[in-house]
Structures are given as C-alpha cells and as structure tokens.
Amino acid sequence: MRIALISSRSFGQIVRVGEDLLARGGFDVRRVPDSERPLDAPKLARLVARERPNALIAGAEPIPREVLTASPTLKLVQKHGVGVDNIDLAAATSAGILVTNAPGTNTEAVADLALAFMLSLLRQVVPAVESTRRGKWDRYMGRELGQLTVGVVGTGRIGRAVIRRLGGFGSRILAYDVIQDPSLAATHSVKYVEMSELLDESDIVTLHIPLMEGTRELLGRRELARMKRSAFLINIARGELVDESALAEHLAAGGIAGAGVDVFATEPPQSSPLLKLSNVLATPHIGAYTQEAMEAMDRACAETVVDIFSGRRSDHVVNPEVLGRWTP
C-alpha cells in the first residue's frame, strides 16, 4: 500500500473528504503528530525518512532539498494551498519529484477576508467592540469604502475576486500587474497603473501576488513612504512581500493609518513588531479557513494525488518538466 504523509496542519482537520478519498485510492494516510510541531526542515526530513511516504501533502512548512531527498520513495509533494514558495522547486525537479497545488480552491475565502479587513479598518470595528465591552460608549468615526480608491496589486484569481466585490461598493479601482487583463479593465472599470501611481493615489492597498524573487519585500521603506498618511495596507498573500520592520516603523510613526495582516515572514509571528501596534489587525493566516474552502482544497489535493498515482493527467502540476521521467 502506498503511503501519504500529511504534514499540512489543516488538511483533514475540518472535513474528512480528503482523507477518505486517499484511503479509497489505496493510500495509508499518516499524519504528522502534534508533538512534532512546529515543523522545521530537519524535523520533517527525519519524519520523511522514517515514514517513507510516496506522497507528502504539505502546508506552509519549509520543504527544502533535505526533505525532498530524505527518502527515495517520495515521488510527489502536493501543496495544500496554492503558493509553492516554501518548496524548493529546483531540487524537486532535479530529484524527479512532482510538485502539485490546488489553485482556485480558496479564492472566494481569501477575497472575503480582504474585504473584511477593509471594512473593519475603515469603520474601526475592533476598537469599537473593545470600547463597548469596557462599558464605554465612544463613537468611532469611519470612512465609506465606496467613496475611496482601492489599489489591487495582482489581478490573478484572488485579485479579480476582490475587484468583483469592490464593484458592488462602487469604489474606484486601480490595479498593478506585470500581466494586464484588458477584459477585466473593461468589465469592472479597472485602471491599470504603475506601482508608484497606485501607491500615491490609493486609500487602500491590497496585495494579491505570489512570493518570488522579484516580489520579495516589494513594499519597503521607500514604497511605504509614497502612501497617504490616511491609507491602509492589506496583506493576506505572503508576509515576505513587505518589509515588516519598515512597516512597523511606518505605522508607529503615523505614516499610514493602519494595516490588516494575515501573513507574516515567520509563522507563528511571536516576535513580529507588528503585533505590538494598535492600528494593526493581525490574524493567524486564516485566509483559506472557511468550511467551503477547506472542503474544496482537501478534495482537490486528494484527487490530484490519486489521479497521478493512477496514471491519469492532472492540470495542477507545477513542474511539468518532470512528467516525462516520472514513475510512481
């Protein structure tokens, strides 16, 4: 029987559909025990060497070469999510290991959270709730989303879903992406601009781009300084897209009004300077955490693993150059 090792913290924790599909597909499903967490690369490499899995279903933990080469039985790494920046793709490709992901499964959930951050920050929902619980009756002045300009950085699946939602509010929408979508611009009255113009003009900047070498610390001190003092930054993509120290300094000095942050450079972010600031809404990487998204993601991951080991084609392979020399 083939073995599927689950290192993702969330796979199978909300719904059982994924584990059930793997079991019916002939896999012995084994979970990394809670006693082994938090996972780092050496710990996961030891687990892979011990369990000798054929497939690894991974979350956000690092998957470098030492994990990928820890057992000759490992043939597939399935990301429980979309971004594969935590997986050494070059090492996987060199070792003949397929890497797959689950695109589109969490799009609506993440877009919903982006709007939740915007509205919470604009209407000061969290301080108003805390004030009321303390027995006060403070009236917090807010702003209306439909009267503001929102800059959407990245117009892939999630960026487009955010834009669709903003259309219902009537917000002016600016967008930045290296690959522009003319149909999106025409249908939703989106204006593509350079990054500098987006930062200068937006009341809210929301990030929806993958982490890669060209986007690491896309927003540093210089870029943050371009934003309005009344503006808000939303980052529910990857923590490394923003220089956290620079953002914390900027927020503390009133350089921008606030930020909504669901992702951090190091997770859990126990030492992040952002956690000490009252104008930061910080959440524990919950963008994909809805019942619907988890079910869709678990199902997609399990179906991809079963399909590939059954010799069927999958559209979710990230390094297709391995296919010509891949064997189960």
Q: What gap in Å lies between CA 323 and CA 29, rounded to an integer?
A: 24
Please answer whether residues 277 and 257 qualify as being in contact, where contact means their C-beta atoms are separated by less than 8 angstroms.
Answer: no
Query: Residues with catalytic annotation?
Result: 238, 267, 285
Give Dmax over CA atoms of the chain in angstroms.
67
Q: Are strands 98-100 and 76-79 parallel, antiparallel or unpaired?
A: parallel
Q: What gap in Å lies between CA 288 and CA 299, rounded to an integer?
A: 14
Cα angle for residues 89, 101, 236 (degrees, 5° grid): 95
Of the candidates 153, 173, 154, 177, the one whose C-alpha atom is nearest the C-alpha of residue 163 is 173
Of the candidates 118, 192, 209, 110, the one whose C-alpha atom is nearest the C-alpha of residue 156 is 209
Q: What gap in Å lies between CA 83 and CA 267, rounded to an integer?
A: 15
